């Protein structure tokens, strides 16, 4: 196992070096690695997939190269929400039948989607050393993407939990429903040792005040029992346009650009970009290596 991990680290270094030697122009972040953001929740159905897709589109609209890896087994998957019909999934990458480029489908604003499909079940049962081909393909992504979102399911397997712990950032979606808050706390308790960059989105609220109250409740328990600091990155209003757009398999951010929910998405994507600007260059260069190290150390 250690050998495998070393091999992967070496591969990352070599890929980076050849990229630099060839003077290849790297998208907008230049020498930065992709920022890998896991989106998760304790309770299911709180809006992870809707928010991931629309945030990704909003960042793509600003000229960023954005990928979504759909690791969600929920009913409304990323592809369904966008009306995309992928032929291949993560499974085909892991089984080395297809390359990432053959699996990726393009969505609105040029966002790229890697469908999980049944591959996620396979992934759950796969030993770490079998993930080599997946990581090799993720390395390819690292050369291109500014952001890689991983939309995780609510009922999470060990491998998805590893994604959550290893990601550069974790976005946790909560709703005002009390069980959503207690379930979010349970998730945070599970990952807080390894994952410290945690931001909360409060979804489906009627007012900003309601979002602030929900955040406060979560913040107090995280502070008191986990000694964990969480960031308030934003909220999204409960908006019937979100439901209409998902019924039409269209992103609400493009269908209803002036809706309350779209304005909230705009604010959150602005904050994601802002934290990007503030991050140390040294950390940006090592994001992918850090991801792999953490991912393989479990």
Q: How far is CA 182 from CA 215, 222, 241, in A?
A: 12, 11, 28
Using CB under 5 A as the binding rule, whether residue 142 contacts Mg ion is answered as: no
Which positions from 33 to 72 touch ligand ATP by CB under 6 A, shown as an x/- string?
--------x--xxxxxxx---------------------x
- Nearer to Mg ion by C-beta: 49 or 168? 49
Q: How far is the CB of 44 from Mg ion (least distance, A)?
A: 7
- Nearer to ligand ATP by C-beta: 168 or 175? 175
DSSP letter for 280, please: -
The binder of 260, among ligand ATP, Mg ion, none, by C-beta within 5 to 8 A per type, is none
Backbone φ, ψ for residue 228 (5° rounding) = -115, 130
Q: How far is the CB of 289 from ligand ATP (least distance, A)?
A: 30
Distance CA(36)–CA(166), nearest Å, equals 9
Distance CA(77)–CA(67), nearest Å, equals 15
Q: How far is the CB of 68 from Mg ion (least distance, A)?
A: 11
Distance CA(29)–CA(15), nearest Å, equals 16
Phi/psi-derived region of residue 166, left when phi > 0, alpha when psi is between -120 and 50, beta in every other case:
alpha
Which positions from 59 to 78 touch Mg ion by CB under 5 A, shown as an x/- string?
-------------x-x----
Q: How far is the CB of 206 from Mg ion (least distance, A)?
A: 23
Using CB under 6 A as the binding rule, whether residue 157 contacts ligand ATP is answered as: no
Q: Please provide the DSSP assignment of 57-71 as one string.
A: HHHHHTT--EEEEEE
Using CB under 5 A as the binding rule, whether residue 49 contacts Mg ion is answered as: yes
Using CB under 6 A as the binding rule, whether residue 76 contacts ligand ATP is answered as: yes
Residue 283 makes CB contacts below 8 A (sequence gap 6+) with none
Q: Give the neighbor-by-neighbor strand order of the sheet with 35-40.
A: 105-106, 112-114, 66-71, 147-152, 35-40, 169-174, 198-205, 231-237
- Nearer to Mg ion by C-beta: 49 or 195? 49
Compute how many residues bind ligand ATP; rule: CB under 6 A.
23
The DSSP bridge partners found for residue 151 are 39, 70
Q: How far is the CB of 73 from Mg ion (least distance, A)?
A: 8
Distance CA(241)–CA(36), nearest Å, equals 29
Q: How far is the CB of 98 from ligand ATP (least distance, A)?
A: 25
Residue 43 makes CB contacts below 8 A (sequence gap 6+) with 154, 175, 177, 179, 180, 183, 184
Enumerate residues 246-285 that contact ligand ATP by CB under 6 A: 246, 261
Q: How far is the CB of 49 from Mg ion (least distance, A)?
A: 3
Binding-site ranges for ligand ATP (CB under 6 A): 41, 44-50, 72, 74-76, 153-154, 203-204, 236, 238-239, 242-243, 246, 261
Contact residues: Mg ion, CB under 5 A: 48-49, 72, 74
């Amino acid at each position: 196992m250690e050998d495998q991990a070393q091999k992967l680290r070496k591969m990352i270094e070599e890929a980076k070096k050849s990229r630099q030697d060839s003077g290849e122009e790297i998208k907008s972040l230049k020498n930065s690695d992709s920022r890998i953001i896991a989106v998760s929740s304790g309770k299911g159905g709180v809006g992870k997939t809707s928010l991931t897709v629309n945030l990704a589109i909003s960042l793509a609209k600003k000229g960023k190269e954005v990928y979504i890896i759909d690791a969600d087994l929920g009913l409304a998957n990323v592809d369904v929400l966008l009306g995309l019909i992928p032929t291949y999934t993560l499974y085909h990458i892991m089984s080395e039948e297809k390359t990432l480029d053959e699996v990726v489908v393009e969505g609105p604003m040029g966002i790229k989607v890697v469908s999980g499909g049944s591959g996620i079940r396979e992934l759950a049962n796969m030993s770490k050393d079998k993930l080599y081909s997946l990581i090799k393909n993720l390395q390819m992504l690292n050369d291109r993407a500014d952001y890689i979102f991983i939309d995780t399911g609510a009922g999470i397997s060990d491998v998805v939990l590893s994604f959550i712990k290893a990601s550069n950032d974790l976005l946790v979606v909560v709703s005002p429903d009390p069980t959503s808050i207690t379930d979010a706390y349970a998730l945070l308790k599970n990952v807080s040792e390894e994952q410290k960059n945690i931001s909360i989105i409060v979804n489906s609220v009627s007012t900003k005040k309601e979002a602030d109250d929900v955040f406060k409740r979560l913040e107090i328990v995280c502070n008191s029992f986990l000694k964990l600091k969480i960031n308030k990155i934003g909220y999204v209003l409960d908006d019937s346009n979100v439901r209409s757009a998902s019924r039409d398999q269209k992103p609400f951010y493009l269908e209803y650009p002036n809706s309350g929910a779209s304005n909230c998405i705009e604010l959150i994507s602005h904050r994601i970009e802002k934290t990007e600007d503030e991050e140390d260059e040294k950390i940006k260069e090592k994001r992918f290596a850090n991801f792999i190290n953490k991912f393989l150390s479990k």
